[in-house]
A = this chain, B = another copy of it.
Amino acid sequence: MARQIGSELKGVIAAAPTPVTANLEPDIPRFLTLCRWLLDNGCDALNVCGTTGEATSFTLKQRMAIMSAAAGALPLQRLMTGTGAASVGDAVALTGHAAALGFAGALLLPPFYYKGVSDDGVLGYFERIVAATEDEPIDLFLYNFPQLSGVPYTPHLVERLSAAFGERIAGLKDSSGDLHYAAEIAAISPRLSVFPSTEAVLLQARAGEFTGCISGSANVTSTYCARAFNDGDAAALDRACAIRALVSRSPLIPSVKAVLAARLGDPELERVLPPLSPLAESDKRQLLRDVVATEAA
């Protein structure tokens, strides 16, 4: 089902968070340490600069710096990066940078400020991105997250994008939570790699129904996810889903950062950028206790 023979964008993919300094700059050394740790602990691949990575809260320059740092230090065949933006010029620049650096794929939000836009408008955004990366193509993955972007990649729009740009449209990550939709997209073409955002699909992915999952909670469930995807271990998957439920109880991104901070023994990892805010201390302590109890059960 995976699009390219040898593609490493499959299986368990964590949407990595971006550590930030007290000045709200990306904390590059911590980011690289965290990415290496994730790749060594069950993740087949990573998506950096996505929603969990707070990419849209960083400037273009900061996003490019994060991507450049990843390219200089991590195995790029295992890395996808978010390059979507409200501004078509930013999306073109970010996708071009990802292509030039050699990332295995670019994950594209639609332009997300205006709502109720026409399919032609989204096509126009992709036309510019595809044209700008024609000489140095990179696989483009559609990032469907209508709850945040307000602009869905409807099956009809995915068909139009695939027809217009052929192999450049390599797949779709679906964060809508609607598995019926994800299956409908996978049915459009065997060329499309489809990644729901929940590790709950990993046994179906193992059976070939999806290419894998790209998940924010996989940052803290990846070792269980790996046992599910590689060995078909249903009990491990249950444990991953139980931990996912815990980090979804409060806002996901500060929760994931809090658990990672505890696991890596580095409280600096907890910091988030506005408009996100850290967990209340009592919520954080409860979360950490509950995660430990779930792992020990």
Residues on A facing B (Cβ under 8 Å)? 24, 51, 56-60, 62, 86-90, 93, 110-118, 120-122, 124-125, 127-128, 147-151, 251, 273-277
User: Can you pick out 5 interface pairs between chain A and chain B where the beta carbons lie within 8 Å of each other?
Assistant: A57-B88, A59-B93, A113-B149, A118-B275, A151-B275
CA–CA, A122 and B274, complex, Å: 7
CB distance from A66 to the nearest CB of B (A): 13
Q: Which residues of B contact A51 (CB under 8 A)?
A: 113
CA–CA, A151 and B58, complex, Å: 18
Interface contact B124-A275, CB-CB below 8 Å: yes
Interface contact B128-A24, CB-CB below 8 Å: yes
Q: Which residues of B contact A58 (CB under 8 A)?
A: 87, 89
Q: Which residues of B contact A275 (CB under 8 A)?
A: 88, 110-111, 114, 117-118, 121-122, 124-125, 151
Q: Which residues of B contact A117 (CB under 8 A)?
A: 275-277
Of B113, B125, B150, B273, which is within 8 A of A88 by CB? B273
CA–CA, A24 and B87, complex, Å: 11
User: Given the known A-B contacts A57-B113, A60-B59, are A118 and B87 also in contact in the complex, defined by CB atoms under 8 Å?
Assistant: no
User: Given the known A-B contacts A88-B57, A89-B58, are A277 and B111 also in contact in the complex, defined by CB atoms under 8 Å?
Assistant: no
| Nearest B residue to A86, CB-CB | B56
Of B128, B147, B251, B273, which is within 8 A of A274 by CB? B128
Of B113, B121, B274, B276, which is within 8 A of A277 by CB? B121
Interface contact B113-A112, CB-CB below 8 Å: yes
Interface contact A148-B113, CB-CB below 8 Å: yes
Interface contact A90-B59, CB-CB below 8 Å: yes
User: Given the known A-B contacts A57-B113, A60-B60, are A125 and B89 also in contact in the complex, defined by CB atoms under 8 Å?
Assistant: no
| Nearest B residue to A88, CB-CB | B274
Known A24-B88, A150-B150; further 14 A-B contacts with Cβ < 8 A: A24-B89, A57-B86, A58-B87, A59-B89, A59-B93, A62-B89, A86-B86, A88-B275, A110-B275, A111-B275, A112-B112, A112-B113, A120-B277, A124-B274
Q: Which residues of B contact A121 (CB under 8 A)?
A: 274-277
| Nearest B residue to A89, CB-CB | B59
Q: Which residues of B contact A118 (CB under 8 A)?
A: 275, 277
| Nearest B residue to A129, CB-CB | B274
CA–CA, A24 and B125, complex, Å: 11
| Nearest B residue to A253, CB-CB | B114
Q: Which residues of B contact A128 (CB under 8 A)?
A: 24, 274
Q: Which 6 A-B pairs have the closest CB atoms?
A: A124-B274, A121-B275, A59-B89, A56-B113, A125-B274, A117-B275
CA–CA, A87 and B149, complex, Å: 15
